[in-house]
Chain A
């Protein structure tokens, strides 16, 4: 019976529908498992944009040790990363590069805007070369205020992001 239904012409459509049905059927347990895996393996991409990178480095230091919370310290290859921590001011020269980095990362990907400069431009609100916040460049999940934020604040921001991922629909990105 299935053989009669599926022809080479409609195979793609059928497989797509089947995927939808499968996901709908096991959304809750499967989605939970997928999200559980994601929140404990957040890999930030290694892009330093300004001086908040000092406090990002301090967050990886033995005293704060962000790895306890499942966030590994910055990693080189952006193809394997799923988190951008925008560490401070985005200048006009850096903005296209930031977008390029974001576009090259595989889904799912999350963004933390760290520091006042990344949120609104901060202290450099009237500078000619600084963007007033990164919302216009990439979508932001969590804002971490401070100039610079203390490492504890950054860790709190990461935990908030994990809470957010827990409640996201995993299906969207499968």
Chain B
């Protein structure tokens, strides 16, 4: 009885949803008019790399690019040489245990090109994640961008100790902020839980 009475409710919900979805669908058509300048940047990248890059988002002053770890070095080279982004603002690691991956996000900006002063380009790539990490010796590795953007040096060191992502080609993969005797999991991984929480 109860299962019968529940079913119509479940069915009723998808019926109701399209009605509020239709008004929201109209604003969704608008993003076709993406900000022109930002669209130009992402178009250049897609034109050059095709399927190798995936445009994550294009909004005011922000362009998001996703790429695989094999291509990240080439993409970064292109961003510096042809798009004139000249420094990295931050290197962020985000742990996604559900996807079994760790994402590393570079926020790139430009001082030299005045038209790019407002812009931040978000270049993100993903490394495989291991359930029992041995930082530096497991498969969680990415190519370092330090030879392209010198300013990522300390950022990559921080990501290495906080998430255990080893950067191939980084000259100085040492511990930066954590105590010398830290032997636990890298603390910003999601499976490292704060005591009592």
A and B from one assembly?
A: yes
The secondary-structure label for the interface of chain A is loop
Q: Is the CB of A128 within 8 A of B195?
A: yes
Q: Which residues of chain A are near B195, meaning CB under 8 Å? A: 126, 128
Q: Is the CB of B194 within 8 A of A126?
A: yes
Q: Does the CB pair A126–B180 fall under 8 Å?
A: no
Number of interface residues of B (CB under 8 A): 11
Contact count band on A: under 10
Within 8 A of B (CB), among A121-145: 126-129
A129 touches B179 (CB 8 A): yes
Residues of A within 8 A of B187 (CB): 128-129
Kindly identify which residue among B179, B194, B197 contacts A92, using a CB–CB cutoff of 8 Å: B179
Instruction: Name the distance in Å between A129's Cβ and chain B's nearest Cβ.
Output: 7
Q: Which residues of B contact A127 (CB under 8 A)?
A: 194
Contact (Cβ within 8 A) B179 A91: yes
Name the contact of A93 in the complex, choosing from B178, B184, B197 (C-beta under 8 A). B178
Contact indicator B196/A93 (Cβ below 8 Å):
no
Interface string of B160-197 (1 = CB under 8 A from A): 00000000000000000011101010010000101111
CB nearest neighbor in B for A127 = B194
User: Which chain B residues lie closer than 8 Å to A91 at the CB level?
Assistant: 179
Enumerate A67-116 residues with CB–CB distance to B below 8 Å.
Answer: 91-93
Q: Which residue of B lies closest to A93 (CB)?
A: B179
The reply to whether A93 and B180 contact each other, CB–CB distance below 8 Å, is yes
What are 12 A-B contacts defined by CB distance under 8 Å? A91-B179, A92-B179, A93-B178, A93-B180, A126-B196, A126-B197, A127-B194, A128-B187, A128-B194, A128-B195, A129-B178, A129-B187
When A and B form their complex, which 8 residue pairs have the shortest distance between CB atoms, in order from nearest? A93-B179, A92-B179, A126-B194, A128-B187, A126-B197, A128-B194, A126-B196, A126-B195
